[in-house]
Chain A
Amino acid sequence: MTMPAETDGGGTLPLKAPAFGLANYLVCLKGILVREGLRFLHQRERFVSSLVRPLLWLFIFAAGFRQVLGVSIIPPYKTYVLYEVYITPGLCGMILLFSGMQSSLSMVYDREMGNMRTLLVSPFPRWFLLVSKLLAGVTVSIAQVYVFLAVAWFWGVKAPPLGYLMVLPALFLAGLMLCSLGLLLSSMIRQLENFAGVMNFVIFPMYFASPALYPLWRIQESSPLLYKICLANPFTYAVELVRFAFYGQIDWMSLGIVAGFTTLFLAGAIIAYDPSRGLMTRKQDTGGNA
């Protein structure tokens, strides 16, 4: 594969990417995965805070909003459930959302600190490096979700035993979508400080305009416009995909929409991080020309 930007830009010999075998790719993937895992394990505060956040919602928020007489039946539930059972898939979604955005933060941090250069000078194709980074992020997110589910299990929030297995692919896909979104956003954020903006303009709106905390029919009752906004929110479908998977069901519409958005965000991120076409380069160029 040639890299036109560098050949054109440099005006020198065309650079050929070295031909790597599968084993080489795996070594690279492993390196990125291990680094992400180590970083997560070494930042104990991050681990604790990532666990404390959903648990606060489960223990305190759900207690406050607890509908002792049960949430009325909506699919995939076949009978009445308690509020804490209802919000558990939403809280799994929340972990994926925050974790996905946190990897975007780490990309910005890496760029500021110069660590990213180490990654980007790697001779592997840029898309592969980004996908590996994504997979590493998703793996860490899913590990957090399962720790949360284990704690919830002891709290009495239990899904069907097979549901814990069935939810894995749904968590993976939903995690991939949110991490890709994070990656795409990270390409647009110039500085670490801007992350607060992501928090206020992306994470919270996505989280609250979704069925994570309340069934959408309730939102529809209070505001049809808000309901439409919720329907346009990709996170809505991530939560529903996870919720249905817990009960061994596939919500095909959510699956299609989440897969579609994953492709879109991932393609966007790959383009954004591509040095030839990337948003960063373009911004720098315009900045430089002006």
Chain B
Amino acid sequence: MRRRLCVLAGAVAMAAFLAGPASAYMVYVSNEKDNTITVVDSSTMQVVKTVNVGQRPRGITISHDGKHIYLCASDDDTIEVIDTATLEVVDTLPSGPDPELFVLSPDGKTLYVANEDDNLVTVIDIESKKVLAEIPVGVEPEGMGVSPDGKTMVNTSETTNMAHFIDTSTHEITDNVLVDSRPRFVEFTPDGSQAWVSAEIGGTVSVIDNASREVIHKITFEIAGLRSESIQPVGVRITADGKKAYVALGPANRVAVVNTETYAVEKYVLVGQRVWQLAFTPDQKTIISTNGVSNDITFIDVATDEPVQSVTVGALPWGVVVSPN
């Protein structure tokens, strides 16, 4: 009997251990409406601090060493550099007007910025704070993605409905791929063979083969009880092992979990209202969604694809990034 109790106690302790918090990372959320970023501890899922930043903060990313946050302050027409130790704005980068979203090159030296109002992609060298190139693209550029080898960069233009493939060495557009209406976001698979492009109005995610630059599959979404207009794919993230993709579905309040081999939607995870962007923790155990209308973020367990907890942040949370260490 005692032995049995010991086994039971062991099993309970094991379950508690397995369910225990993952390593602590800092989660940085840009709040578009109240001009702040909220810092959340990923292990306690509590807000640590709220920091005032420039106007209309949207795109947010972090340097590979985790020392600096880069933030698009869209209405200030600049990119702010925030020291993660002091959480103060220490520098700005010349972004061109109305920067919305950007991507950091794999070597961490270059930022590719979409300038929504000027139909440009601006290439910025971080160290020298110089603009290396301005690449004319389609109307209302937004989504930005870069291949893992750093050779190809993709920009989507919301009104032209195209994904523009750009050679990062020449800064020239090499291919234009037509996708569905209002493409918002680009994410490369970890092996670089595919670029996944979400289309907000079209309600699809186009999978583009990086070699042939052709759409090889279109993923559609269907949620019982919801009109198809409410399903608006925005943020996309793919796990490091390349097996699962997460797609934020905007006003559907759900994150779709997609099998990257079969392209089948395996699950819809209920999160807050108007889910916008997503970010993994570096250990890939958790993915975090920003929910714009309900002013919160939701932590989703990657192993079970179950929502764990929602945490209230600032007004209209837009982008999210997690510290690498």
Contacts and interface: CB of A to CB of B under 8 A. Distances in A.
Nearest to A161: B15
A46 interface: no
Nearest to B223: A68
B161 interface: no
Contact of A66 (B15, B225, B307): B225
Contact of B270 (A80, A161, A162): A80
B226 interface: yes
Contact of A78 (B12, B224, B271, B308): B308
A73 B225 contact: no
Contacts, number: 37
A273 B252 CA distance: 57
B309 A79 contact: yes
Nearest to A69: B253
Given A70-B253, A78-B309, A162 B15 contact: yes
A82 interface: yes
A168 interface: no
A66 B310 CA distance: 21
B272 interface: yes
Interface residues of B, number: 19
Contacts of A119: none
Is chain A's binding surface mostly helix, strand, loop or mixed? loop
A198 to B, nearest CB: 37
Interface in B290-325: 294, 298-299, 307-310
Nearest to B253: A69
Given A69-B253, A70-B253, A73-B310, A80 B225 contact: no
Contacts of A161: 15
Given A78-B308, A78-B309, A70 B15 contact: no
Contacts of B294: 72
Contacts of B307: 79-80
Given A79-B298, A80-B253, A162-B15, A69 B273 contact: yes
Given A70-B272, A80-B298, A80-B307, 4 more contacts: A79-B298, A82-B270, A161-B15, A162-B15
Interface of A: 66, 68-70, 72-73, 78-82, 161-162
